[in-house]
Chains A and B, each alone.
Chain A
Amino acid sequence: MSLLEGRTGDWEIVIGLEVHAQVTSKSKLFSGASTEFGAEPNSQVSLVDVAMPGMLPVINAHAVEQAVRTGLGLNAQINLVSIFDRKNYFYPDLPQGYQISQFLDPVVGKGEIEIDLADGTSRTIGITRLHLEQDAGKSIHDQDPRKTLIDLNRSGVALMEIVSEPDMRSAEEAGAYVTKIRSIVRYLGTCDGNMQEGSMRADVNVSVRKPGGELGTRSEVKNVNSIRFIREAIEYEARRQIEIIEDGGTVDQETRLFDPDRGETRSMRSKEESHDYRYFPDPDLLPLELEQSWVDAIRESLPELPDQKKHRFISDYGLSVDDAAQLIAERETAAYFEAVAEGRDPKIAANWVTGELFGALNRTDTDLSASSVSADMLGNLVDLIADGTLSNRLAKEVFEIMFDSGDDPEKIVEEKGMKQVTDTGAIEAAVDDAIAAGAAQVEQYKGGNEKVLGWFVGQVMKSTQGKANPQVVNEILRKKLDG
């Protein structure tokens, strides 16, 4: 358990998350307007979305299916009857004056997922529920000096709100949780997980307590839209609350906003009045009823999910939890790895993917799908090491060239003459030159300084432009120096 140190002793952070994930669908939850991102303001708004008098909601079948698919991916209970409720409040980005959501009877009930931590351990986090609801429109505060402007393109887009149990105990765990949720919905194709475009965002509930003590009062940081910000918001919030309590104050139960520029949270006064949402079943809709056979068919069609894949990678390939967790984060990455590992040593394949490939992708801010090194190419490179054509060191150089040029490794080795030299004659000559040039070093070696061997190896490598097979160099050196 990770504890925070305060003036009065250690503190435990208790975190629960409400992740809002936009359902991947062509049209909105209750209207036929498009969900495409980035359109002209109010160009993707139907009469229903703008809440014209007499307009009525009709539910999108695909949104229901996506919610159920996600629920199954969260190992959760699917409720065959669920209810749409109205959550009543006034806000200009909420044209109806209520959000259609699910309150007492959500479509998905309890479930659980595993999160993977940097120390190579995993933990189980409980899912309380998943429900379907409408997104709000967008309020634009900075375009007009005296007015807030309202664009309703997002209004009515289908969201899945995934609520966790308050099971997380650190910012890292919360980050790992969101990472895993994102990975699951992306595997399932139910949400694109694009946090920059707001397709996924989280309300973060944070409280602190003395380890094992009573739960503290929580604050809710709304709409945090990156994993890094989620971690920062939690760390800031926990510190803030500990300070308040240690100073003898009490934490307010309130809604807060994370300011990424300052790395701080602040109270959202505009939403600070007593919330009384007056939930009641939406009389424009009937209960949502699902057939068990329909749910079963969706279950049958699920792909292998991140946690299943992770366990398989560990058991079948003998990978570490950390490597496996990294490789399964994206379906594409896992598939890439499996293609490289096919018929090869999986651990070496994993090292190349998580090491050189991820490093290069990160450094150049490139997506795997845009990588110039295909799984085939990387596999070939691994083969060239296995058959002795390349040393590890040379292979890394070849990889860099592959990554920049997109050329096959064989071609690079051929053209640049980067083959490892195992020809003893050529190496012997280079060793002889090195010994001749290093009389002093020879003396030292004979005097018992084994370390000086490295100097000779370096000389040989220099003169062979790194292509000499290091093992062969060592053998010949020892033979000559000792003999």
Chain B
Amino acid sequence: MTAPTDFTIAEARDALNAGTVSARELTEAHIAAMEAARELNAFITETPDRALEDADESDARRAKGEALGPLDGIPLAIKDLFCTEGVMTTAASHILEGFVPPYESSVSGNLRTAGSVMLGKTNLDEFAMGSSNETSYFGNVENPWRRDGDNRPLVPGGSSGGAAAAVSGRLCLGATGTDTGGSIRQPAAFCGIVGMKPTYGRCSRWGVVAFASSLDQAGPMTRSVRDAAILLGGMAGFDPKDSTSADRAVPDFEAALKVSVQGLRVGIPAEYAVDGMNSETSTLWDQGKAWLKDAGAELVDISLPHTKYALPAYYIIAPAEASSNLARYDGVRYGQRVEGDDLTELYENTRAAGFGIEVRRRILIGTYVLSAGYYDAYYIKAQKVRALIARDFTQAYEKCDVILTPTTPGPAFAAGEKSDDPIAMYLNDVLTVPASLAGLPAISVPAGLSGDGLPLGLHLIGKAFDEETMFRAAQALEDAAGFDDRPGQR
């Protein structure tokens, strides 16, 4: 019999329904795994007591024949960017250390309503700013994977690095992530799991610590495409408390997986063959094209001419919004406080001590690009480029239904390898950022291994609110790739 920690969500659901496993058994197995894998530092806060309580309630519902949610009894990890009522929420920042929200984010609340079990809060880059999970105040997360014959720790990617490591390392059946410029998809690719960012507006941002409001989206991180579809179904939904939440019904994403990709037009953007793309990655991309073609899809050459400018535009827009979003962390109403002789000192001391170096850097960049005399040259220019990038996609979707690219230029790197060159670090997101700027759904599917045994991901970008087509293509890739490698195997 499969170990409970090796189940997919779909398998666990079947086993729970068949009565071959209880929510408590599933949960206990994951708590044990979580505790045994503490060296990964995937969690900031473990909530085993709460998890067992959730599990027992689920088992009781099932025993009494009560209505069950779509994720009833499924143990999940929640990125520590989602505010959770009564459970410390830090955004991996010292400034929020000890902060206990008196409220529950809409997404984590939806998951509770769906019957899921919360194992704990996963580590991330501070305020979700980073691509390697090296900026967390609570320490780096380790990728469960190692290069062949090399035991040096690798980064899990970021910012949802703890979630990716936890899913990859079998510490939970699935996890929530958030993606601003690639923060779900890039760590998913680095850790050999599925990571999906829905259309902007599909998941509520209410109660999610904001990084860049016009870009932030929550999404599922799982070990299969089906699981991503199931988990997204539990997270998504219209929320009147978020003015940017889309008032649309949530489709049955899982049902969409049944439809083949026969006749689907898959766009291949010439501009995604970026400088610095590793040859294994290009090979894998070609492989992905072949897989989809073999499954009956039609490949279409498309052009997204402003791709190259997405990253610099992103690194103006995201820090600008962040500089304003993070102004509320001032030590007055919640969070850490460092006293000063006067008000200004209180602010300056609190924020200097409370924020880490990358967060401070981005706040300063964001403040600079919004400041008098620079606003038009930087911020407005970037928003215009953003409009061009969105237009590129709109034009491309006249010729295709979904777009295939690699997720990242290369596989996971070692801790410390890129952390002293911010721009080198930013380049990790070069392939994921354009879809973020355009608000489009996108998914990373593990599709193969690099020469030294590290997972690589393929990336699909869908049309706005057409996650279903994107999921279909993802399922086809997953079926063809047959990726069943797991960390620590070779």
* Chains A and B in contact, CB within 8 Å: yes
Chain A: residues with CB nearer than 8 A to chain B? Answer: 47, 50-59, 86, 88, 90, 92, 95-98, 148, 150, 276, 278-280, 282-286
CA separation between A36 and B67, bound complex, in Å?
42
CA separation between A282 and B324, bound complex, in Å?
9
Q: CB-CB < 8 A to B208: which residues of A?
A: 54
CB-nearest residue of chain A to B102: A47
B367 pairs with A278, CB closer than 8 A: yes
Partner of A278, one of B333, B343, B347, B370: B370
CA separation between A95 and B334, bound complex, in Å?
11
B330 pairs with A97, CB closer than 8 A: yes
**Residue B19 CB within 8 A of the other chain:** no
B328 pairs with A278, CB closer than 8 A: no
What mask results when residues 309 to 329 of chain B are scored 1 for a CB within 8 Å of chain A, else 0? 000000000001101101110
Q: CB-CB < 8 A to A59: which residues of B?
A: 243
B328 pairs with A95, CB closer than 8 A: yes
Q: CB-CB < 8 A to A90: which residues of B?
A: 327, 330, 347
A276 pairs with B83, CB closer than 8 A: no
- Interface residues of B, count at CB 8 A: 43
A96 pairs with B328, CB closer than 8 A: yes
What mask results when residues 99 to 139 of chain B are scored 1 for a CB within 8 Å of chain A, else 0? 10111010000000000000000000000000000000000
What are some 22 contacts across the A-B interface (CB < 8 A)? A53-B99, A53-B210, A54-B83, A54-B209, A55-B206, A56-B243, A58-B242, A88-B370, A96-B327, A96-B328, A97-B328, A150-B332, A276-B371, A276-B372, A278-B324, A278-B367, A278-B372, A278-B375, A283-B212, A284-B213, A285-B243, A286-B243
Q: CB-CB < 8 A to B96: which residues of A?
A: 53
Q: CB-CB < 8 A to A92: which residues of B?
A: 330, 332, 343
B328 pairs with A54, CB closer than 8 A: no
A88 pairs with B243, CB closer than 8 A: no
Partner of A52, one of B101, B242, B321, B323: B101
B324 pairs with A97, CB closer than 8 A: yes
B343, chain A: closest CB distance, angstroms? 7
* Known A-B contacts A51-B333, A52-B103, A54-B207; A86 and B324 likewise in contact (beta carbons under 8 Å): yes
Q: CB-CB < 8 A to B91: which residues of A?
A: 53
A275, chain B: closest CB distance, angstroms? 9
CA separation between A280 and B103, bound complex, in Å?
29
**Residue B444 CB within 8 A of the other chain:** no
CB-nearest residue of chain A to B379: A280
What mask results when residues 191 to 233 of chain B are scored 1 for a CB within 8 Å of chain A, else 0? 0000000000000011111101110000000000000000000
**Residue B287 CB within 8 A of the other chain:** no
**Residue B240 CB within 8 A of the other chain:** yes
CA separation between A283 and B321, bound complex, in Å?
8
Q: Which of A50, A86, A276, A280 has the most CB of B within 10 A?
A: A280
Partner of A58, one of B103, B207, B241: B241
CB-nearest residue of chain B to A32: B241
Q: CB-CB < 8 A to B372: which residues of A?
A: 276, 278
The A interface, classified by DSSP as helix, strand, loop or mixed, is loop
**Residue B89 CB within 8 A of the other chain:** yes
What mask results when residues 258 to 275 of chain B are scored 1 for a CB within 8 Å of chain A, else 0? 000000000000000000
**Residue B303 CB within 8 A of the other chain:** no
Q: CB-CB < 8 A to A52: which residues of B?
A: 83, 101, 103, 333-334
Q: CB-CB < 8 A to A283: which residues of B?
A: 212-214, 244, 321
B346, chain A: closest CB distance, angstroms? 9
CB-nearest residue of chain A to B106: A54
Q: How many A-B residue pairs have CB under 8 A?
A: 97
Q: CB-CB < 8 A to B205: which residues of A?
A: 54, 56
CB-nearest residue of chain B to A282: B213
CB-nearest residue of chain A to B242: A56
B212 pairs with A278, CB closer than 8 A: no
CA separation between A150 and B332, bound complex, in Å?
9
CA separation between A54 and B96, bound complex, in Å?
13
Partner of A280, one of B206, B320, B332: B320
CA separation between A279 and B241, bound complex, in Å?
24
CA separation between A150 and B324, bound complex, in Å?
21
CA separation between A95 and B327, bound complex, in Å?
9
A53 pairs with B328, CB closer than 8 A: yes
CA separation between A198 and B51, bound complex, in Å?
50
Q: CB-CB < 8 A to B105: which residues of A?
A: 54
A54-B206, A284-B244 known; 19 new pairs, CB 8 Å cut-off, are A47-B102, A50-B333, A52-B101, A52-B334, A53-B96, A56-B241, A88-B327, A88-B370, A96-B328, A150-B332, A276-B371, A278-B323, A278-B372, A278-B375, A280-B320, A280-B324, A280-B379, A283-B214, A285-B244
Q: CB-CB < 8 A to B332: which residues of A?
A: 92, 95, 150
A284 pairs with B212, CB closer than 8 A: no
CA separation between A278 and B374, bound complex, in Å?
10
Q: CB-CB < 8 A to A53: which residues of B?
A: 83, 89, 91, 96, 99, 101, 209-210, 328, 334
Partner of A47, one of B103, B367, B370, B375: B103
Q: CB-CB < 8 A to A86: which residues of B?
A: 324
* Known A-B contacts A55-B206, A56-B205, A96-B328; A278 and B371 likewise in contact (beta carbons under 8 Å): yes
B84, chain A: closest CB distance, angstroms? 11
Q: CB-CB < 8 A to B89: which residues of A?
A: 53
CB-nearest residue of chain B to A48: B241
| Residues 327 to 385 of chain B near chain A (Cβ within 8 Å) | 327-328, 330, 332-334, 343, 347, 367, 370-372, 375, 379
Q: CB-CB < 8 A to B206: which residues of A?
A: 54-56
CA separation between A88 and B91, bound complex, in Å?
22
CA separation between A58 and B247, bound complex, in Å?
14
A286 pairs with B244, CB closer than 8 A: yes
CB-nearest residue of chain A to B206: A56
B288, chain A: closest CB distance, angstroms? 33
Q: CB-CB < 8 A to B343: which residues of A?
A: 92, 148
CA separation between A50 and B99, bound complex, in Å?
14
A98 pairs with B324, CB closer than 8 A: yes
The 5 closest A-B pairs by CB, nearest first: A97-B327, A278-B370, A283-B213, A283-B214, A54-B207
CA separation between A280 and B378, bound complex, in Å?
12
CA separation between A86 and B323, bound complex, in Å?
11
